[in-house]
Amino acid sequence: MRAFKRSPWVIHYDASSCNGCDIEVVASFTPLYDLERLGVINTGNPKHADIFLVTGSVNAQNVKVIRTIFEQMPEPRAVVAVGICATSGCVFRECYNVMGGVDTVLPVDLYVPGCAARPESIIDGVLQAAELLEKKRAFMRAMHGDIGMMAIERAFAGDAPEILALQKIVYSNEAEIYNDYTLTPLRQSLDELRKDFETRTFLKAVMGGKIVGSVRGRLEGETADIGWLIVHPYFWGRGIGTRLLGAIEECFPSARRFMTFMGEKARYTMAPFQNMGYAPFRQERISEHRERVYFEKKRQG
Ligand code: SF4
């Protein structure tokens, strides 16, 4: 309790729970267990909420709602997956209509185990999320206006969970633009990302010990394939993407050409590439609603 100074407000969403976990969430707030005695309030408005409690697994019907609630919550925010369905999809994960646990679409901060999750565990999860919020708030305060303290470093497989969480935050914006939550960066699993480290060079932008940006690249002949440039939306427009690009190009001194591609509406990703002299050379339609633009840059000298 000493760790947090404000009353954290919680929003609870039943994704596709059997209601077992929902009943336990409600029990956590009602008199027997009484989270409210600790100052925690259950709100129905995402704009007032700090902690997002999700029960049940993600499917095609609820993914948009989960994303919308998350997007409407102010930063800093914490996501808690309650119960094994929200954690991994549980026995339903192989169902044709189930996409998986909540971390399929959102960066989850805490997992509360159980089927159903017990009220004591849920309370513990909420209090740990409140503590995490204080840390996130302190980090954002410290980092605001302190871009000069950022370091760009080589990333390794141990950084994969943090990079994956950031990747999901960033690409959810693009998914919203296209109304398509099946984008590869959103669906990538932790194992797949770890495997990418075997064939690609990863860089990370680090501020205050936290990864706020990343980029990856691979040399194929004389062409360096640069991709998945991500910067936390809180730090957009502050030159981090351009610095990451400059650094990844230096990782491939033998490359004569740099190449990348992105959705035609990914303007936040396009800007750093254009700043660094990349120019479009090809455009192709990859689905009914999406086009892909290819950019290249020739190395001078
Ligand atoms: S974890 Fe168990 S109790 Fe909770 S929603 Fe899934 S099946 Fe129901």
- Phi, psi for 48 (deg, rounded to 5): -100, -5
Structural domains of the chain, with CATH: 9-141 (3.40.50.12280), 147-298 (3.40.630.30)
In which element (H, E) is residue 260 found? strand 257-263
Q: Between the CA atoms of 252, 231, 65 and 55, what dihedral angle is there, to the nearest 10 degrees? A: 90
Could you tell me whether strands 257-263 and 201-207 are parallel, antiparallel, or unpaired per DSSP bridges?
A: unpaired
Q: Is the CB of 57 under 6 A from ligand 1?
A: no
Output the CA 17–ligand 1 centroid distance in Å.
6
| Contact by Cβ (8 Å): 122, 112 | yes
Ligand 1 atom nearest to CA at 91:
7
**pLDDT at residue number 73:** 87
Each residue's pLDDT tens digit, 208-230: 678 889 999 999 999 999 989 99
- The span from the CA of 244 to the CA of 276, in Å, is 11
Q: Is the CB of 81 under 6 A from ligand 1?
A: no
Q: What percent of the residues of the chain are helix, what percent strand, and what percent coil, each to the nearest 5?
A: 40, 25, 30
Closest residue by Cα to atom 2, ligand 1, is 115
Output the CA 16–ligand 1 centroid distance in Å.
9
Q: Is the CB of 56 under 6 A from ligand 1?
A: yes
**pLDDT at residue number 277:** 93
Ligand 1 atom nearest to CA at 21:
4
**pLDDT at residue number 3:** 60
**pLDDT at residue number 28:** 96
| pLDDT < 50 positions in the chain | none
Q: Is the CB of 112 under 6 A from ligand 1?
A: no
Q: Is the CB of 59 under 6 A from ligand 1?
A: no
Output the CA 32–ligand 1 centroid distance in Å.
21
List CB contacts of 38: < 8 A, sequence separation 6 or more: 1, 123, 127
Output the CA 186–ligand 1 centroid distance in Å.
24
From the centroid of its chain, how far is CA 193? 13
What angle, rounded to 10 degrees, do the helices at 160-178 and 63-72 form?
100
The best mutation among 21, 26, 53 to test binding of ligand 1, ranked by most ligand atoms within 8 Å of the C-beta, falls on 21
**pLDDT at residue number 21:** 96
Output the CA 138–ligand 1 centroid distance in Å.
34
**pLDDT at residue number 10:** 96
Sign of CA dihedral 276, 279, 284, 288: positive
